[in-house]
């Protein structure tokens, strides 16, 4: 099953942006990620819509952080990128009146919902400045 690595990639980019302290172009980010500038714009614009980055056109333009890293959590970025389910497991809805299907779906959903809540709670606890610590520690 295909995986969505946009969260990992965008976090990576955001922390690098913090250290650069100047605008980065989509082209540069694309090279860094081994992808395409249009794909970068598509993804970064989701973060822009939520107010985590700014985009500036023209000479010297590009992407900058709109908030300090300690004001952004993993959950913020995760939510900006995807409203889709965290899980690769899906339920069925073909026999909605079948009590067996209902029982099966309830049992699975109960567990996935609890685990999903755990993930969101934990993502909310991690601010991006924590991810930068190891890096800055290495520099000093």
Partner DNA sequence: AACTCATGTAACATAAAAAGTTTCTTAAAA
Partner DNA sequence: TTTTAAGAAACTTTTTATGTTACATGAGTT
Q: Does 56 bind its own copies (CB under 8 A)?
A: no
**Contact call for residues 81 and 9 (beta carbons, < 8 A):** no
Q: Diameter of the chain by CA atoms?
A: 63
Residues 6+ apart with CB under 8 A from 36: 30
Q: Kindly state the smallest distance separating residue 94's Cβ from DNA, in Å.
A: 11
- Report 5-24 residues binding its own copies (CB under 8 A): 5, 7-9, 11-12, 15-16
Binding to DNA (CB under 7 A) within 2-21 occurs at 2, 4-6
Q: Which residues pair with 55 in a beta bridge?
A: 63
Question: Applying CB under 8 A, does 74 fall inside the site for its own copies?
Answer: yes
Q: Are 48 and 107 in contact (CB under 8 A)?
A: no
Residues composing the chain: 140
87 binds DNA (CB under 7 A): no
Contact set with its own copies (CB under 8 A): 1-5, 7-9, 11-12, 15-16, 33-34, 74, 78, 82, 84-92, 94-95, 98-105, 107-108, 110-112, 114-116, 118-119, 122-123, 126, 130-135, 138
């Amino acid at each position: 099953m295909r995986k969505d690595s946009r969260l990992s990639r965008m976090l990576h980019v955001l922390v690098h942006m913090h250290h650069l302290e100047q605008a980065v172009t989509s082209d540069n980010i694309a090279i860094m990620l081994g992808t395409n500038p249009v794909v970068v714009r598509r993804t970064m614009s989701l973060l822009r819509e939520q107010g985590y980055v700014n985009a500036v056109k023209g000479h010297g333009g590009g992407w900058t952080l709109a908030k300090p890293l300690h004001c952004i959590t993993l959950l913020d970025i995760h939510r900006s990128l995807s409203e889709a389910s965290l899980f690769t497991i899906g339920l069925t809805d073909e026999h909605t009146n079948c009590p067996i299907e209902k029982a099966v779906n309830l049992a699975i959903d109960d567990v996935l919902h609890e685990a999903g809540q755990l993930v969101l709670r934990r993502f909310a606890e991690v601010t991006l400045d924590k991810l930068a610590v190891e890096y800055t520690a290495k520099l000093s």
